[in-house]
């Protein structure tokens, strides 16, 4: 008669977060190949995903099954790595897309997911083909950095905005000085060039990275359009294009920085330690060390450190950080409570029902941090349109330069002039900055007022 053995996934695959990970299937395949194992699949026990191994006790012992599973888990964990990185210097959502696209082509990289909003990248890779150092080095060659969490100065956080504003100042001085204050043309031209440098620095970084990997995007088109305006002698128009576009990039980056800070502030709500009753003693442990069934003691006025069920005590609990309720809710024995909520006047003994990583607050933070992946239909349309629009415009410009002179319709100089005019007119500055900037500015403004919004798709909000 078959018997079953249930083993929690984290016990065998320490780096795996859920049952959908490919390493789960790899482990199952390894275990299935052993004699005496009739079936291996994922099941659930007490709400947790587990490996369920069916075996014939006449052919193999329980201890042998468990040892095989542990060995298979160790082999999979040793070869297939899961790592999270903090990526800095990403200025827009396209940066995340570029990193995923380029890094995903590296031999040995299995999956890569970049969250622009949280500045996080999660990578699964084959450790026999690529190493941690290779990944960090590859990210560096793309112009981004892998950094430890540390506070940054205001200038460091907002350098794109500073450059964009400088571009606007240089443009204004050159244009109004020449038009109304008889500024010499050469001096005005110098200010226009400074506006080009300040406004085009960030755009050129993105454009050249994309170009090196055979990708044409809006940044590249805007840069070419500005160069075309300069060739035509319309320096002010080119500087205006770069100023508007760089300012849009800076606003997007600033809005997302504010949203990230709101997410980090949300994480600070939950206590880092908890008082626990173990072996008849009261000890203090980090919340990550708490186990299901532990009894946590929460005194009057303290924040509850973990999700659980009240084992003893009665109190009013302020649940506004989780539910938004303005009035404390009466809680008694048998009621559920959430990490991050505030205990009232009564002391509580709470039995842990969820690990720290599975708490309601942890899941809220994870879902809010996915804001960049939840794009509005308009933003998704503009990104698809961009991939078609940019190459079409560039091909059209080349045709306007070449075809009319060959057919004796225009001279080469006239054809070039019209092609540059077409390029400047076609540069989609409003299209490129309108939707993401509006959505991200809205997210940041809401975050400053205590409302966290999951992206541009209006599905739910958390107060």
Asked whether the predicted pLDDT for residue 447 surpasses 80, the reply is no
Q: Where in the chain is the domain with CATH 2.70.150.10?
A: 273-356
Comma-separated ranges of CATH 3.30.70.100 domains in the chain: 1-150
- CATH (one of 3.90.199.10, 3.30.70.100, 3.30.70.360, 3.40.50.300) for 1-150: 3.30.70.100
Lookup: tokens for 323: 């539910």
Whole-number pLDDT of residue 190: 94
Q: Is the pLDDT of residue 347 over 60?
A: yes
pLDDT in tens, 285-298: 888 888 888 899 99
Residue-wise pLDDT for 165-224, tens only, equals 999 999 999 999 988 888 999 999 999 999 999 998 888 887 777 777 666 667 777 788
Percent pLDDT > 90 in the chain is 10
pLDDT of 104 reads 86
- Quick one: pLDDT at residue 441? 60
The fold of 273-356 is 2.70.150
Which residue did the predictor score with more confidence, 427 or 140? Answer: 140
Give the mean pLDDT of 16-31. Answer: 77
- Span 358-406, pLDDT tens digits: 777 777 666 665 554 555 566 566 667 767 777 888 888 889 889 999 9
Q: For residue range 236-262, what is the model confidence (pLDDT) as tens digits?
A: 888 888 888 888 778 777 766 766 666
């Amino acid at each position: 008669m078959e018997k079953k053995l249930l083993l929690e996934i984290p016990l065998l695959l320490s780096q795996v977060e859920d049952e959908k990970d490919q390493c789960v299937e790899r482990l199952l395949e390894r275990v299935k190949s052993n004699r005496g194992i009739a079936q291996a699949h994922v099941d659930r026990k007490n709400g947790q995903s587990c490996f369920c191994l069916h075996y014939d006790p006449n052919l193999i012992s329980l201890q042998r099954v468990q040892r095989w599973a542990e060995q298979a888990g160790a082999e999979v964990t040793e070869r297939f790595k899961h790592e999270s990185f903090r990526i800095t210097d990403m200025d827009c959502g396209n940066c995340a897309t570029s990193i995923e696209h380029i890094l995903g082509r590296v031999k040995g990289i299995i999956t890569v997911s970049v969250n622009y909003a949280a500045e996080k990248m999660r990578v699964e890779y084959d450790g026999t083909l690529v190493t941690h150092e290779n990944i960090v080095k590859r990210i560096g060659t793309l112009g981004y950095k892998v950094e430890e969490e540390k506070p940054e100065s205001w200038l460091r956080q907002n350098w794109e905005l500073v450059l964009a504003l400088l571009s606007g100042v240089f443009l204004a001085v050159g244009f109004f000085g020449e038009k109304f204050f008889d500024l010499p043309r050469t001096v005005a031209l110098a200010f226009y060039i400074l506006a080009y440098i300040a406004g085009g620095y960030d755009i050129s970084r993105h454009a050249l990275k994309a170009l090196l990997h055979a990708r044409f995007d809006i940044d590249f088109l805007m840069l070419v359009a500005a160069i075309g305006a300069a060739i035509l002698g319309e320096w002010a128009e080119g500087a205006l294009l770069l100023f508007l576009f760089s300012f849009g990039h800076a606003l997007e980056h600033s809005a997302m920085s504010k949203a990230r800070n709101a997410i980090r502030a949300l994480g600070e709500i939950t206590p880092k330690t908890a008082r626990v009753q173990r072996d008849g003693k009261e000890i203090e442990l980090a919340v990550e060390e708490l186990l299901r069934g532990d009894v946590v003691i929460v005194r009057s006025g303290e924040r509850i450190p973990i999700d659980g069920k009240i084992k003893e005590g009665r109190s009013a609990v302020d649940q506004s950080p989780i539910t938004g309720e303005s009035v404390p809710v009466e809680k008694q024995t048998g009621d559920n409570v959430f990490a991050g909520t505030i205990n009232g006047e009564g002391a509580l003994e709470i039995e842990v029902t969820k690990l720290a990583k599975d708490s309601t607050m942890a899941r809220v933070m994870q879902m809010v941090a996915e804001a960049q992946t939840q794009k509005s239909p308009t933003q998704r349309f503009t990104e698809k349109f961009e991939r078609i629009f940019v190459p079409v415009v560039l091909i059209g410009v080349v045709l306007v330069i070449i075809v009319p002179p060959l057919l004796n319709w225009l001279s080469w100089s006239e054809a070039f002039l019209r092609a540059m005019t077409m390029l400047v007119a076609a540069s989609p500055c409003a299209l490129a900055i309108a939707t993401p900037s509006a959505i991200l500015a809205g997210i940041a403004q809401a975050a400053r007022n205590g409302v966290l919004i999951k992206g541009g798709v209006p599905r739910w909000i958390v107060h």
